[in-house]
Structure 1
Amino acid sequence: MLSLKVSGMTCGGCINAVTRAIQTQDPAAIVQVDLATQIVTLQTSLSADEAGQLIADAGFPVSN
């Protein structure tokens, strides 16, 4: 399980965008987004770097 700090998420549309970004590369991934803490928790076969890059490419900055 991965946890990533993701900035800029404010609504359901953001949750959908982040989920789609991950599931395009890993359709079986389970994505949980907490808007209050800005934490995305993933159960995925992707590495943290791969997942972070996909989320960043969707327009949401990822920090450590």
Structure 2
Amino acid sequence: MYRFNLPDMSCGHCVAAITEALKEADALAGVQIDLATKTAQVDSTLPRDRLAAALAEAGYPPAPDAGAA
């Protein structure tokens, strides 16, 4: 499981866009998003950098200090 800090996430629309981007990268991924802490936990078999790239492409680049959960 990966944990991403997403400082640009600020509303429900952001949550939907982030979820969609992660599901496009890996349709089977388990995605849990906490808007209050601006974090996403992703259970996926894809490499972390691929998921981070999908987030960045959607306009929500993860903070550099994000780590594995």
TM-score w.r.t. the length of structure 1 is: 0.89
Unaligned runs of 5+ in 2: none
What's the CA shift for 1:61?
Answer: 2.1
SS state at 1:41 partner:
strand
Q: Indicate the structure with greater strand content.
A: 1
| CA shift digits 1:2-55 (9 cap, x unpaired) | 101112111111111111111112111111111111111001111111111100
Sequence identity, in percent? 34
Give 2:37's aligned amino acid. Answer: T
TM-score w.r.t. the length of structure 2 is: 0.84
**Counterpart Cα distance in 1 of 2:6 and 2:35:** 9
Task: Look up the match of 1:59.
Answer: 59
Aligned residues: 64
RMSD of aligned Cα (Å): 1.0
Task: Look up the match of 1:44.
Answer: 44
Alignment of 1:14-53 (within 5 A): 14-53=14-53
Displacement over 3 Å in runs of 4+: none
Give 1:42's aligned amino acid. Answer: V
